[in-house]
Structure formats: C-alpha cells, structure tokens
Amino acid sequence: MARRFAEKKLVIASHNPGKVREIGDLLRPFSVEVVSAGDLGISEPEETGMTFRANAELKARHSAEASGLPALADDSGLAVTALNGDPGIYSARWAGPSKDFGHAMQKVEEALAGKTDRSARFVCALALAWPDGHVEIFEGTVAGDLVWPPRGDKGFGYDPMFRPAGEALTYGEIDPDEKHATSHRAAAFRQLVEACFKD
Ligand SMILES: O=c1nc[nH]c2c1ncn2[C@H]1C[C@H](O)[C@@H](COP(=O)(O)OP(=O)(O)OP(=O)(O)O)O1
Ligand SMILES: [Mg+2]
C-alpha cells in the first residue's frame, strides 16, 4: 500500500520554471500549499542516476531532507526511437548550461538526418519523498512524433517539436490545459493521485 499524503505543505523539488508551473497546475485541485525548491534556496543536486526513476528519487529525497517537508520531484525527458532513446535522461543536459532548447532541438533534428522513423515519447517519473525517508515513485509516458521546424511557444523544453499521437498541433501550440490532460506528466500524476491523494 502506498503511503497517503496527509500534510498541508509540499515542496516542488524542481528548478525548472516550466515544470514548477505545470506541477502547480496539476496540484491546484488538492488543498495543499506548494513552494518550490528554488523559493526555499535549496540547491540542485547532481543527477547521477541512470534512470528517470532514480533521478526523480534523488531529487525528491534531497529537497525533503533539506526542507523537513514532503517533496515532489519530476525527472523527465524525450526518448527518440531512432536514437535508441536519446536524449532520454540527458534531455536537460543536451540544452547545455544556458538551457538553450532551440539548440537541443537542433541537435535532435541533426541526429535524425536520413532516418524515416520520427516517433518519440516523453517520459516522466514523479517521486514523492517524506523527510523520514519514505518514497513513492510513479511513471507516465506519451507517444508522438517529431516535427521540423519547431512550432509554438506555449510549453517549454522540447514541446515545440513534439506532436502527441492523433494531434495536428505540437505541445508548443496546444492549450496548456489540454497538455495537462494528456501528457506524460499527467499520466504519472494520475497514478500519484490515485495512490497517495485520494480519500
Ligand atoms: O513536458 C515536457 N515538455 C518539453 N520538454 C520536456 C518536458 N518534460 C521534460 N522535458 C525535457 C526538458 C527538460 O529540461 C528535460 C528534463 O530534465 P530534468 O532533469 O528532468 O529537469 P530539469 O533539469 O529541467 O529540472 P529539474 O531537474 O530541476 O526538475 O526534459
Ligand atoms: Mg534536472
């Protein structure tokens, strides 16, 4: 049995403003006060894990220990089929220290040159850690394909080149509420809510 969340306050253990915004939106229906790791001055831990789950867990533990509050971390990325799952857990690192996703998307497009399979998926692992060391982890994915050139500025990261299956628009173009209903983050979040937040 998963541990239920019974506290009033939660740290969003992310330094990515796009994610903090999306996770804040997803948590809005639940009466929990949220604060981000950045707001609390918590450092960004080194992401030494080899899986999304391991990195989500280490980020959540780091913020829970630093704050004494439960903490929710997200480790996510774009897995491109023809690139054997790259950039995967290295999705943020492909954007370099200046977090330039125009550059990161260009790198993906260059790596895809000459390949016909443009399918990809976004993966999201969410880890909820309590200060006593207990952790719950959930994973979600969304399938789609990659367009070029990138389109739209409503999302973040690789959103402008990702078109979810069955959609004409990219995640950069669609309404954020629709992304929240269908994304990898939403899929992981539904499991988290089912296991930890529902009465
Ligand atoms: O919905 C998404 N739409 C577009 N791009 C996305 C999405 N979800 C993850 N991504 C890409 C960009 C992000 O930078 C990287 C995750 O890397 P990841 O280490 O998990 O996050 P991060 O370093 O940006 O922030 P933090 O670790 O503080 O939570 O994958
Ligand atoms: Mg990161």
pLDDT tens digits, one per residue of 130-167: 999 999 999 999 999 999 999 999 999 999 999 999 99
Ligand 1 binding residues, C-beta < 6 A? 14-16, 19, 44, 47, 59, 74-78, 91-92, 122, 155-159, 171, 183, 185
Which residues make up each annotated binding site for substrate? 14-19, 76, 156-159, 179, 184-185
User: 66-119, pLDDT tens digit by residue?
Assistant: 999 999 999 999 999 999 999 999 999 999 999 999 999 999 999 999 999 999
Structural contact between residues 76 and 52, judged by C-beta atoms closer than 8 angstroms: yes
State whether ipTM is beyond 0.95: yes
Residue 149: cis peptide before it, omega within 30 degrees of 0: yes
Does residue 23 surpass a pLDDT of 90? Answer: yes
What confidence category does residue 198 fall into, taking pLDDT thresholds of 50, 70 and 90? confident
Q: Which of 19, 59, 62 to mutate to test the pocket of ligand 1 (most atoms within 8 A of CB)?
A: 19
What are the boundaries of each domain within the chain?
Answer: 9-197
CATH (residue range 9-197): 3.90.950.10
Residue positions annotated with a catalytic role: 75
Binning pLDDT at 50, 70 and 90, where does residue 31 land? Answer: confident
**Band of pLDDT at residue 184, cut at 50, 70 and 90:** very high
Length of the chain: 199
Taking the model in full, what pTM does it have? 0.97
Alpha carbons 6 and 4: distance in angstroms, whole number: 6
DSSP 115-137: -S--EEEEEEEEEEE-TTS-EEE
Query: In this model, does residue 199 exceed pLDDT 80?
Result: no
**Mean pLDDT across the chain, nearest whole number?**
96
pLDDT category of residue 1 using cuts at 50, 70 and 90: confident
Please tell me the distance between residue 114's alpha carbon and the centre of ligand 2 in angstroms.
30
- Compute the distance between CA of residue 90 and CA of residue 137 in angstroms, rounded to an integer: 20
